[in-house]
């Protein structure tokens, strides 16, 4: 398929000119993509590679040895197949510097000792090249069909690489980022020349193909690129390491935004990224709110580094200036790890804004990677709700806010207002008139689990002051026993409803 240099020189139109190969060997292994004629010295930038350049050498007249050497070097660097020079008109013999430079760069140099109109050469060669190009495109289409059918049938990695070798008509090897052979044959470091193709948009491996010369340069490159694409589709999730941020971010973003992915697809992609749920562990989705400058890069870097240091393998993505994280954790360690994660984030950012500067939420823990489709959205919802409620804690679990979610769905704003007034109305009125902070005191007391010392410490007041406030609260509420279970539950729900109404959580 295609035309090589030896076949070109064997054409009758060139045989009449008595071609002499001065420099060059294995001409049958040098494919010819095009034939071009030019007498311009600076022709190399106008060529694409694979051309046979026909010239009488007129552009080299009067040039020194250095300039002639540069001319040959530029052609060789551009990938030109050969320089064919007619002698007898401009030069009786080729310049010595031309021959020396061709030998130095192993660049084919052919002399034509007879006169042949170059137009006759191009007229003879162009139809052959075009016909070969069309046939190569047809053959490429047939190869693409074979590869697609193999992917659809679920071909295994070894079988796929065998098929790739057949399509490329060459020995092939697939190498990882560290240079290790992942599959196929080890074709690197051997005498044969290899052509290499990146696998994946952000390359995770390299497909090395041993050059054969049986196809044109363009055809071989098309085949190699096609095979690299098919390998990425089939094997990317298997061999890709957790260091591929773009692909991993796409997976996390899709799960967090509710895009449909089959459980098997999620499992394969997560395993390929290194996220494996070990026995006794659970997968969990996290959401992160950071004090960000105009650029997202520092926040993304801080989240990636903090997650990796605290949880190990973690997949991170940015969503609307917030960050979502998919990771794994032991159930008993979730709250402690969440706090450590928030501290690590603050250190990474150099945050000086105190606890409110960093906010982290966690969705429910799930048994496998596919369950992250539930955990990640829940973590985002918890982050948004905790921010709107103005909660002081920098970490929160979605389960901590369950009552807020429930009330926002089962009660409208009018009912919430009536309930708050029934339970807290006298305290709210007293605070409004006298600035007495009774509602805040009641909230802190219930938050501390009725522990007076802890509540006083949280409020920054003495225990005696707390006792006085609690007595006033009970009196204003009609002598209510705050510590009675039913009363305590009603007051807790009223405080939750009050926060929801104050922060407009219901959206009404």
Residues 1-55 have pLDDT tens digits of: 467 788 888 888 888 888 899 998 888 878 887 888 888 888 888 888 888 888 8
Element (H, E) at 431: helix 413-434
**Higher per-residue pLDDT: 180 or 348:** 348
What is residue 361's predicted lDDT score, i.e. its pLDDT? 93
Query: How far apart are alpha carbons 123 and 113 in whole angstroms?
Result: 20
Element (H, E) at 32: strand 31-32
Query: How far apart are alpha carbons 217 and 33 in whole angstroms?
Result: 7
List the helix and strand counts (H, then E) for the chain: 18, 16
What is residue 360's predicted lDDT score, i.e. its pLDDT? 94
> 3-state DSSP call for residue 497?
helix
Q: Which CATH architecture has domain 245-401?
A: 2-Layer Sandwich (3.30)
Share of the chain above pLDDT 90, in %: 16
Mean pLDDT computed over 237-257: 69
| pLDDT surpasses 90 at 177 | no
**∠ at Cα 460 (456, 465), nearest 5°?**
55
Low-confidence winner among 198-202, 261-265, 366-370 (lowest mean pLDDT): 261-265
Quick: pLDDT tens for 117-156: 877 787 777 776 666 555 566 777 777 888 888 777 776 6
The residues, ordered by sequence, that sit 6+ positions from 298 with a Cβ below 8 Å of its Cβ are 292, 349
Q: What is the 3-state secondary structure (H, E, C) of 435-476?
A: CCCHHHHHHHHHHCCCCHHHHHHHHCCCHHHHHHHHHHHHHH
Quick: pLDDT tens for 86-100: 888 888 888 999 999
Helices (H), 244-369: 245-256, 263-272, 297-311, 334-349
The torsion angles phi and psi of 491, rounded to 5 degrees, stand at -65, -40
| pLDDT surpasses 80 at 398 | yes
Instruction: Supply the Cα-derived Rg of the chain in whole angstroms.
Output: 37
Residue 436 CA to its chain's centroid (Å): 55
What is residue 477's predicted lDDT score, i.e. its pLDDT? 85
**Chain-wide mean pLDDT for the chain?**
81
The residues, ordered by sequence, that sit 6+ positions from 32 with a Cβ below 8 Å of its Cβ are 2, 3, 4, 5, 7, 8, 50, 51, 52, 81, 82, 125, 129, 216
Listed by start position, the domains of the chain span 3-116, 138-239, 245-401, 411-503
CATH topology of domain 3-116: 3.40.1390
**Higher per-residue pLDDT: 271 or 491:** 491
Output the CA–CA distances (angstroms, integers) from residue 475 to 249, 373, 481, in the order listed: 56, 50, 10
Query: How far apart are alpha carbons 415 and 114 in whole angstroms?
Result: 104
What is residue 354's predicted lDDT score, i.e. its pLDDT? 45
The residues, ordered by sequence, that sit 6+ positions from 5 with a Cβ below 8 Å of its Cβ are 24, 27, 28, 30, 31, 32, 52, 81, 82, 108
Quick: pLDDT tens for 332-381: 999 999 999 999 988 888 754 444 578 999 999 999 988 999 999 999 98
As given in the structure block, the two tokens for residue 183 are 């599959």
Output the CA–CA distances (angstroms, integers) from residue 268 to 235, 241, 257, in the order listed: 10, 12, 19
Mean pLDDT computed over 413-429: 80
Contact 397, 335 (CB under 8 A): yes
The residues, ordered by sequence, that sit 6+ positions from 40 with a Cβ below 8 Å of its Cβ are 46, 59
| pLDDT surpasses 50 at 242 | no
Query: How far apart are alpha carbons 248 and 237 in whole angstroms?
Result: 10
Top-level CATH class of 138-239? alpha beta
Q: What is the DSSP letter of 366?
A: B
């Amino acid at each position: 398929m295609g035309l090589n240099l030896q076949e070109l020189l064997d054409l009758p139109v060139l045989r009449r000119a008595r071609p002499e190969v001065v420099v060059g060997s294995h001409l049958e292994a040098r494919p010819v993509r095009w034939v071009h004629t030019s007498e311009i010295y600076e022709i190399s930038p106008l060529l694409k590679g694979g051309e046979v350049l026909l010239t009488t050498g007129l552009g080299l007249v009067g040039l020194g040895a250095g300039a002639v050497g540069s001319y040959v070097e530029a052609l060789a660097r551009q990938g030109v197949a050969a320089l064919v020079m007619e002698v007898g008109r401009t030069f009786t013999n080729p310049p010595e510097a031309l021959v020396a430079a061709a030998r130095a760069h192993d660049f084919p140099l052919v002399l034509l000792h007879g006169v042949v109109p170059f137009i006759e050469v191009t007229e003879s060669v162009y139809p052959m090249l075009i016909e070969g190009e069309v046939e190569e495109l047809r053959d490429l289409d047939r190869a693409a069909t074979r590869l697609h059918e193999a992917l659809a049938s679920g071909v295994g990695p070894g079988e796929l690489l065998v098929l790739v070798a057949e399509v490329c008509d060459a020995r092939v090897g697939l190498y990882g980022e560290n240079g290790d052979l992942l599959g196929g044959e080890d074709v690197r470091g051997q005498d044969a020349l290899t052509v290499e193709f990146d696998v994946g948009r952000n390359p995770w491996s390299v497909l090395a193909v041993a050059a054969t010369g049986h196809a044109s340069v363009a055809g071989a490159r098309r085949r190699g690129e096609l095979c690299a694409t098919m390998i990425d589709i089939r094997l990317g999730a298997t061999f890709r390491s957790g260091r591929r941020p773009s692909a991993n971010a796409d997976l996390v973003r899709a799960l967090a935004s509710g895009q449909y992915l089959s459980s098997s697809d999620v499992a394969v992609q997560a395993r390929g990224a290194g996220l494996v749920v070990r026995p006794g562990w659970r997968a969990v989705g996290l959401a992160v709110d950071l004090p960000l400058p105009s650029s997202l890069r520092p926040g993304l870097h801080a989240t990636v580094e903090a997650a990796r240091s605290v949880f190990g393998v973690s997949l991170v993505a940015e969503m609307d200036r917030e960050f979502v994280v998919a990771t794994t954790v032991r159930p008993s360690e979730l709250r402690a790890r969440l706090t450590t994660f928030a501290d690590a984030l603050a250190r990474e950012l150099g945050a000086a804004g105190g606890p409110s500067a960093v906010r982290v939420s966690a969705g429910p823990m799930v048994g496998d990677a596919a369950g992250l489709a539930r955990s990640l959205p829940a973590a985002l919802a918890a982050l948004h709700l905790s921010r709107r409620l103005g909660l002081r804690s920098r970490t929160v679990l979605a389960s901590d806010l369950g009552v807020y979610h429930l009330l926002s769905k089962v009660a409208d704003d009018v009912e919430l207002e009536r309930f708050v007034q029934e339970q807290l109305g006298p305290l709210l009125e007293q605070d409004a008139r006298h600035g007495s902070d009774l509602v805040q005191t009641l909230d802190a007391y219930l938050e501390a689990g009725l522990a007076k010392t802890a509540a006083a410490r949280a409020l920054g007041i003495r225990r005696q002051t707390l006792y006085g406030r609690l007595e006033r609260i009970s009196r204003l509420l009609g002598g209510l026993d705050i510590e009675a279970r039913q009363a305590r539950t009603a007051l807790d729900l009223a405080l939750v409803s009050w926060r929801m109404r104050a922060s407009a959580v219901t959206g009404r």
